Each structure stands twice: as C-alpha cells, then as structure tokens.
C-alpha cells in the first residue's frame, strides 16, 4: 500500500519556493499566477527518467512509485521524458521537461503579455505552451514540434489542462507562416544559427528568446530584439542548456568521431592546461565556442598513452588534435595536431585573448543576427567595461 502523494497546492507552493531561491527573488506575480493555473504534473508522462547517481538514468513509474514520481514532478530540476537510440546503438535523451526556474527566467525575459502573438519552437510536453496560453491567451499561441508522438501527447495534456493553443507537428526551423507575424518567439531547443524564418516572422521591436549552442559549449540564452533593418540585436543570459535543434545536429559529434587513425600528427607541447579551456569555466568555454567555428571537444579518461586526454575536432573537416596529461606534472602537456587546421593553436590563441580582455562573463557578449541569403550570420562583440 502506497502513502498519499502531496496535494497539488502543497507541491506547487514548494516549487515556487525552490524557484524563488534559485532566482534570488520572488517569482513575478503574473508568472506565479500562470504556474498556479497550469499544474506541471498534467504534462508529464507516467514514466520519468531520473539521474541514478552514476551518470545514467533510471525509470521512475507513477504507478509503482507515486511519491517519488510526484516529488520529481514538483522539484526544480529538468526531467528526461523520452530517449532516442543513436546510430551506434547507444541511447540519449531526446525530449525533456525543462527546469522550472529556467522556464520562469525565459518567460520573464520574453515579457509575453495578453494580446501578444507568440511562436514557440519545441512543444515538448506542452507545459510551456500552456503557460504562454495563460499569459497571452491560447488563441495567440502557436507551438511547433517535429516529433509526431510528442505533439499528440502535448495536445492531449493541453486539452486536459483547459488550454488549447495551436499545436502543429512541423519542423520548427521553418517557423510557421500561417500565423505570422509574431510579437514574441521562444525556443525550447538550442541553436547554433538563428533560422532566417524566425527573423522574418518577427515584428519590428519583437522579442526573441533562444537557447544558444556552439560545438564547444552548450550554454547561454540569446535575448534579442528585432530591428527595423531586419537584423536582431541582443545579449546572452547566463542560463540555459538545451538539446540542440535536430536540423543543426552534426553526425560526427553525435558519434564522437575523431578522424586521427593512421595519420602522423604535428607534435608540440603547451603550458596551457586543457582544463582551462574545457573545464568548469563556462565563461571561457563560451568565449572559445563563439570564436573557434566548428570546434568541439571530448574527454578520454583511459587513453593508451596518457592519463587523461582532451580531444578536439572539427565536424566539417578532418582536422583534430589532442592534449595529454601524464598524471604527474601540470607545467607542460603533450599536443598532437592532425590536418590542415591547427585546432589547439586556435583554441590557445582565443583563450589568451579571453584572459587579455578581462575574462568576460556570458552576459558581456553582444550578438547581432544578420540575414545572409537563405540563412543568417552572427557578429559577436564584447563592449569594453
């Protein structure tokens, strides 16, 4: 016999307290009202996948573990709701319920109010679409998801919640012209390049809130305003780590392919620690990611000829590099670079620049999104303090 899970009001009160603690201030009244009007548990599947403490996930079933399931539903944590199998047979999360405090941060930045027309890219569970409907009116909200099964689940959950925005199964990269233009566009997946249709379908003065990604670092959220000349300008906020939009995923990165076999490298040493560029300093990682195009990295903890190895690669070319730690001294590290592009040299130069300009935080970056043919290009600057 199982004991009674918390009542919705009790659980929601706890969640609002957790979010406020994370934000460092109370949840704004209009967002608190939306959260109270839209119970999160209605949008979660019977099986949630929770961290097991060893880097993997374990299922949590509402039927057999209702208390644990309910606690997870109203904790300020992201929840994996679906897995997909990769080309090598491994599985990886393919959909999740975002961390509630990040949801609140993004909605606060979006500043969506009654009467605003909103396009959401990435319906997922439908929870965010329901919150947007509460804030703006369901008839003003269009939500897109490329996954047919997720779309159907979200439509059912939204109907059960009493909110029925226009939910469409479509590739979000193209936006949705039938309901354009939009006063606000928000994405619940990250991008490396803002799709041109998103700019074209936003009104002048409209707001875009888009999680950002580079091959080097998945972190930060673009807060931008559409300009009269068709560009969008804004800054990055220091929160958000979302799954990359499917249309922009690179197979080589997904598989972890490092094209070095049978090739002779250019060898050298460096005094720059690999942990400086690919460790816990997210400001450094973002700076590098914005300025070393295409470069990504992965750690190898049991290489044959080193104690720990940092691999660097470019998913668009056959260039790669590695930096080895011998497990003893940290004043010099062995470097091997393969191919025409000297990736470690590029990363080291950009890191030196990062230090020279004062180690700017994520929110110091100014981004300008510029239409360029059928896509957009990015200009990045860091204004002097």
Contact between 222 and 363 under an 8 Å Cβ cutoff? The reply is: no
Contacts of 230 (CB under 8 A, 6+ apart): 199, 200, 371
Eight-state DSSP code of residue 121:
E
Q: Are residues 117 and 211 located together in one domain of the fold?
A: yes
pLDDT for residue 257: 81
pLDDT for residue 86: 62
Tens of pLDDT along 282-314?
999 999 999 999 999 999 988 888 899 999 999
Is 230 within the bounds of a domain?
A: yes
Contact between 204 and 150 under an 8 Å Cβ cutoff? The reply is: no
CATH of the domain at 154: 3.40.50.150
Q: Are residues 69 and 214 located together in one domain of the fold?
A: yes
pLDDT for residue 5: 56
Q: How far apart are CA 206 and CA 16, in angstroms?
A: 29
Identify the domain boundary among 198, 223, 246: 246
Is 338 within the bounds of a domain?
A: yes
Q: Are residues 232 and 212 located together in one domain of the fold?
A: yes
Q: Are residues 128 and 171 located together in one domain of the fold?
A: yes
CATH of the domain at 265: 3.30.160
For residue 41, give the nearest of 19, 18, 20, 10 by alpha carbon: 10
> Domain range holding 282?
256-356
pLDDT band at 316; cut points 50, 70, 90: confident
Q: Phi and psi dihedrals of 10, rounded to 5? A: -65, -45
Contacts of 180 (CB under 8 A, 6+ apart): 119, 200, 201
Tens of pLDDT along 193-210?
999 999 999 999 999 999
Q: What percent of the chain has pLDDT over 90?
A: 81
Tens of pLDDT along 58-105?
999 999 999 999 999 999 999 998 887 765 666 777 778 999 999 999
pLDDT band at 1; cut points 50, 70, 90: very low
Catalytic option among 98, 117, 161, 190: 98
Identify the domain boundary among 246, 279, 296: 246
- Range 317-322 average pLDDT: 93
Q: How far apart are CA 332 and CA 67, in angstroms?
A: 52
For residue 44, give the nearest of 141, 145, 110, 130 by alpha carbon: 130
pLDDT for residue 89: 63
Is 374 within the bounds of a domain?
A: no
Task: Assign 334 to helix, strand or coil.
Answer: strand
Q: What percent of the chain has pLDDT over 70?
A: 96
- Report residue 321 CA to chain centroid gap: 26
* For residue 6, pLDDT beyond 60: no
Is 1 within the bounds of a domain?
A: no
Q: Are residues 192 and 308 located together in one domain of the fold?
A: no
Query: Average pLDDT of the chain?
Result: 92
* For residue 353, pLDDT beyond 60: yes
pLDDT for residue 139: 97
Q: What angle do CA 278, 218, 104 make, to 5 degrees?
A: 130
Q: Are residues 217 and 320 located together in one domain of the fold?
A: no
- Range 152-171 average pLDDT: 95
Q: Are residues 112 and 138 located together in one domain of the fold?
A: yes
Q: Is the dihedral of CA 279, 282, 286, 288 positive or negative?
A: negative
Tens of pLDDT along 29-49?
999 999 999 999 999 999 999
Contact between 329 and 251 under an 8 Å Cβ cutoff? The reply is: no
Is 296 within the bounds of a domain?
A: yes
Q: How far apart are CA 278 and CA 297, in angstroms?
A: 8
Q: How far apart are CA 207 and CA 107, in angstroms?
A: 11
Is 221 within the bounds of a domain?
A: yes
Q: What angle do CA 239, 295, 368 make, to 5 degrees?
A: 55
* 225-230 contacts, C-beta under 8 A, 24 or more apart: 226/199, 226/202, 228/204, 230/199, 230/200, 230/371
Contact between 366 and 223 under an 8 Å Cβ cutoff? The reply is: no
Q: Is 98 a catalytic residue?
A: yes
Q: Are residues 296 and 148 located together in one domain of the fold?
A: no
Q: Are residues 305 and 236 located together in one domain of the fold?
A: no
pLDDT for residue 263: 86
Is 187 within the bounds of a domain?
A: yes
Contacts of 277 (CB under 8 A, 6+ apart): 284, 285, 288, 297, 347, 348, 351
- The residue with greater pLDDT, 385 or 283, is 283
Q: How far apart are CA 36 and CA 248, in angstroms?
A: 35
Tally of structural domains, the chain: 2
Q: Are residues 263 and 238 located together in one domain of the fold?
A: no
Q: Are residues 326 and 227 located together in one domain of the fold?
A: no
Contact between 82 and 90 under an 8 Å Cβ cutoff? The reply is: no
pLDDT for residue 7: 57
pLDDT band at 381; cut points 50, 70, 90: very high
* For residue 3, pLDDT beyond 90: no
Tens of pLDDT along 131-142?
999 999 999 999
> What ranges in 215-371 are assigned the alpha helix state H?
251-255, 274-278, 282-291, 343-356
Q: Are residues 313 and 279 located together in one domain of the fold?
A: yes
Angle, helices 8-23 vs 100-110, to 10°: value is 70
Tens of pLDDT along 109-151?
999 999 999 999 999 999 999 999 999 999 999 999 999 999 9
Contacts of 152 (CB under 8 A, 6+ apart): none
Tens of pLDDT along 214-271?
999 999 999 999 999 999 999 999 999 998 998 888 876 777 788 787 789 999 999 9
pLDDT for residue 82: 84
Is 2 within the bounds of a domain?
A: no
């Amino acid at each position: 016999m199982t004991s009674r899970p918390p009542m919705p009001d009790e659980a929601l009160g706890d969640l609002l307290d957790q979010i406020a603690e994370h934000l460092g201030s109370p949840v704004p009244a209009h967002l608190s009202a939306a959260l109270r009007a839209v119970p999160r548990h209605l949008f979660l599947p019977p099986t949630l996948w929770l961290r097991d403490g060893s880097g993997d996930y374990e299922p949590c079933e509402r039927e057999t573990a209702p208390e644990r399931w309910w606690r997870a539903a109203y904790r300020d944590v992201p929840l994996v709701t679906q897995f997909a199998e990769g080309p090598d047979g491994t599985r990886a999360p393919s959909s999740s319920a975002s961390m509630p405090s990040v949801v609140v941060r993004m909605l606060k930045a979006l500043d969506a109010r009654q009467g605003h027309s909103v396009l959401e890219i990435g319906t997922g569970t439908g929870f965010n679409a329901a919150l947007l409907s509460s804030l703006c009116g369901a008839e003003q909200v269009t939500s897109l998801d490329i996954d047919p099964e997720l779309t159907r689940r979200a439509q059912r959950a939204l109907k059960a919640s009493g909110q029925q925005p226009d939910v469409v199964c479509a590739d979000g990269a193209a936006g949705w012209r039938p309901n354009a233009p939009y006063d606000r566009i928000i994405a619940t997946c990250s991008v490396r390049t803002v799709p041109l249709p998103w700019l074209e379908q936003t009104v002048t003065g409209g707001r875009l809130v888009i999680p950002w990604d580079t091959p080097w670092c998945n972190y930060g959220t673009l807060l931008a305003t559409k300009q009269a000349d068709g560009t969008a300008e804004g800054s990055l906020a220091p929160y958000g780590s979302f799954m990359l939009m499917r249309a922009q995923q690179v197979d080589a990165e997904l598989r972890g392919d490092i094209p070095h076999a049978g090739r002779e490298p250019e060898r050298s040493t460096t005094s720059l620690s690999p942990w400086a560029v690919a460790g816990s300093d997210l400001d450094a990682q973002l700076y590098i990611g914005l300025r070393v195009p295409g470069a990504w990295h992965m750690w190898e903890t049991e290489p044959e000829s080193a104690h720990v190895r940092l691999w660097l690669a470019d998913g668009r070319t056959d260039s790669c590099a590695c930096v080895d730690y011998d497990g003893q001294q940290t004043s010099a590290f062995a470097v091997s670079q393969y191919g025409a592009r000297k990736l470690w040299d590029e990363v080291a130069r950009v890191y030196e620049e990062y230090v020279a300009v004062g180690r700017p935080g994520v929110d110091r970056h100014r981004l300008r999104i510029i239409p360029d043919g059928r896509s957009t290009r990015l200009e990045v600057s860091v204004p002097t303090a």
